[in-house]
Chain A
Amino acid sequence: MNPGSLNYFFLLIGTMVIFYLFKENKSKQSILLLASLLFLSFFGIIPVITCVFLSILNFYFAQQAHKGGYGFNKLVIINSFNVIVLLAFRFVNELKMGSLFTAPLIGEQFIAALGIGFYSLQNIGYQIDVYKKRYFPEESLLPFILCNTFFTRVSSGPILNIKVFNTSLSKLPIRLKEEDFTVGLQRILVGLIKKIVIAERFSYYINLYFDGINPGVKTGYDVVAGSFLFTLQLYFDFSGYMDLAIGSARMFGINLNENFNMPLRSQSVSEWWRRWHITLINWFTQYIYYPVAYRFRSKRTLATILAIISTFGISSVWHGFGITYLIWGCLHIVYLIVENFLKKDLIKLNEKLTPYYYSLIFTPFTFMMVSFSNLFFRSNSLQDAKRLLVTLFDLSNFWPKIPFVTWLVHGVHWKMQFLLSLRIGVIFALIYLFFEHKIITRLNQPKFNVLLVAFMIIFLTIFGVFNSGTRFIYMNF
């Protein structure tokens, strides 16, 4: 069951109906848990067993360890287990399926433990927090399991703080509020638009650039176009999923954390990481970056560098074992270290140029840097990445050898249908990005607007690419 599929909405509506029939909080939580287990069971029995088993284990371990004095050794034992299980699934999946991006669709063993990358981090963070006595261990098992399995976000996050999530579970609404319904519905619709109308349109070209036996990459221009399109696809796909997850949770009166804050407007790579996949980066910052920086605090700059290296080193392994992920991580390490050294100069330059002109230069520059790193993130192997780099830097063969007018009318490739589809996607993406702030503000307004909802349904139906059936990209992780 792909989030956003018809079955997903049947599950969502069915769960909502039953959820609001009951008044007791415990019953509501049980219904959400049942729905979540049902959702996971669509991917096979392994995700259900893994998720429930790890939840129970972490729940009881934290309780027992807390009672008997939670020592560092105990923390190492449980978190080593969490990490080993996570890595084992990753390793088996990658061994079986090769590249995560070309792996088959849902139903295959590929997603053997759906969402494990996300709920494992949650559990690891939970154990650390209990060990550090930031809060007491959870007393009730049901909300703990629900936090890990909650069906609207289990497959790709956002990563939750168990304590915060359980606070919202403790006061679930008795009736569906208009505000929750309106905001939830609008977020779901905009999420579907981002995924089905925009991101899916880029798939054909992305696959052509990165996966083809006879790759569509012939010039440096193709490599640049491929990397830019992939960054856009990744953003619209992943943030579309987040809108869907947040909107669906809102239907039950649950507020999930935002995971994006207009990252394509970032003026530096560090700003990018403050706006992109926020809950993951917050997790890494809290549990990796700060402890490392604190441990080496006497070394000043070296502490920052070591913290950056460990954060992105672990982040790249979390994404996958491939050498391409490692290079992707290394590039971000380099970007951030260089930026750290140039921080003062950049502030001066900002003042000299005025913020407007500074953003005109550094927003596209940041996008280019991130897109360049994404060449490695998306490449299926080191050989593929090398091939792309060689083509990119072969300046004698950068522009397509066709007249500009031919390019404008027919594009580089010869299927007009795909060309039109791509250009529609790019136009919609740019329009969205231009008005992103206004759109987000409008979507969070609690008053139901008939015309807006009707417009979104019509727009989605007319321009949606429904047949591709690809899963959300971050379900791979």
Chain B
Amino acid sequence: MWKKLLLAILLSGFFLFFGEKVSDFFMKRNPRLKSSYITEVEQNADILILGACEAEMMLDPELFERKTGYKTFNLGESGTRFADNYLYLYQYLKYQKRPKYLILHVSPESFYNADNKLLTTYLHQAFLSDTTVYNVIKELDPEYIRFSKIPFLKYSYYNIYSLYNIIEATGYTALHKKYPPSINGFVSPRPADTVDAFQTIINKVHGYKWSSTEEKYFRKIISLCMHEGIKPIFYKVPYYKGYYDANLFLRDYETKIGRIASENKIPYYVYDTSSLTKDYKNYFWLVNNLLSMKSIPTFNNMFIKDINDNVFLHDSKK
């Protein structure tokens, strides 16, 4: 009986170990995953955009390139936290030419952890063999590291996301696809189909607590930029006025972020007083801080003009 059990364990262990290696191969080549895309395809970007959905969906590299002449790549990813952004930047610098500027979305929400999620682990699982990636995951998601020692659980632990990614990666590899649908990393938001319901979520945020771990990784991004000679620029997308007015404490946290930025001599652009914020049709779906396709060009032009005048022109004069 014990021999049979051992044989069953060995047989399944071998199969799963092999499956993990095959998945590693495909996942590292999945251009739909930005962490894989930047290791495979040369970008040569002068401006790197980083952050969560406010970066991925709100800043259009094409507009940046047209107005500034700098090649721009959007490395933003929905749902990510500062630790993810840090690992993305680390990976980018490991495989790509160093950019001149890093544009990072920073908002009070970036430091607020409602669901205690500090890392989107499944975005980095193909690179677990890298010591830096491993150490960050070990610090922020120790349970995952515990499970990842079992063959294939490195992927199946976050099965809902990983299984889809593996299938997608396999498809892309099989079809010899090297590029994702959006080559410059920008993902446009969906049309605001349910915009009528917008008013329903202008609610008060309760129990807001500044996360020290978020701050730690925020500062790590700054240090990495300083170390590599990259100039960081921080910005915050304009929040819908109703939401902003209902949560006045957001201003205090913005001041705190501004203080960290000025300590490091980094410009921080906030647009909450712009006229955009008054019309809810400028917002995407049911979210207070995501702009709709209608307002993205206006916001981008406003932001690009500011950094062009205050940072890029200033630097070029030097």
Contact = CB atoms under 8 A, between A and B. Distances in A.
Nearest 9 interchain pairs by C-beta: A457-B12, A453-B8, A417-B164, A454-B11, A421-B160, A454-B12, A454-B8, A465-B159, A448-B4
Contact of A461 (B4, B146, B150, B190): B150
Interface in A180-200: 181-182, 185
Interface in B150-187: 150-153, 156-161, 163-165, 167
Nearest to B9: A457
A240 B152 CA distance: 23
A201 B160 contact: yes
Given A458-B12, A458-B15, A458-B16, A466 B7 contact: no
A424 B166 CA distance: 14
Interface of B: 1, 4-5, 7-9, 11-12, 15-16, 19, 144, 146-147, 150-153, 156-161, 163-165, 167, 190, 197, 200-201, 203, 286
A424 B1 contact: no
A205 to B, nearest CB: 11
Interface in A250-279: none
Interface of A: 6, 178, 181-182, 185, 201, 204, 213-214, 414, 416-418, 420-421, 424, 448, 450-451, 453-455, 457-458, 461-467
A467 B200 CA distance: 31
Contacts of B147: 466
B89 to A, nearest CB: 24
Q: Which of A414, A448, A455, A467: most chain B Cβ within 10 A?
A: A467
A214 B152 contact: no
A463 B150 CA distance: 14
14 contacts: A6-B146, A182-B1, A214-B200, A414-B190, A417-B160, A453-B8, A454-B9, A457-B8, A457-B12, A461-B12, A461-B152, A462-B19, A462-B152, A465-B159
Given A454-B11, A462-B19, A421 B163 contact: yes
Contacts of A181: 1
Contacts of B197: 214
A421 to B, nearest CB: 4
A424 B8 contact: no
Contacts of A414: 190
B164 A454 contact: no
Given A414-B190, A416-B164, A448-B1, A464 B156 contact: yes
A438 B4 CA distance: 23
Nearest to A458: B12
Contact of B201 (A185, A213, A416, A458): A213
A450 B160 contact: no
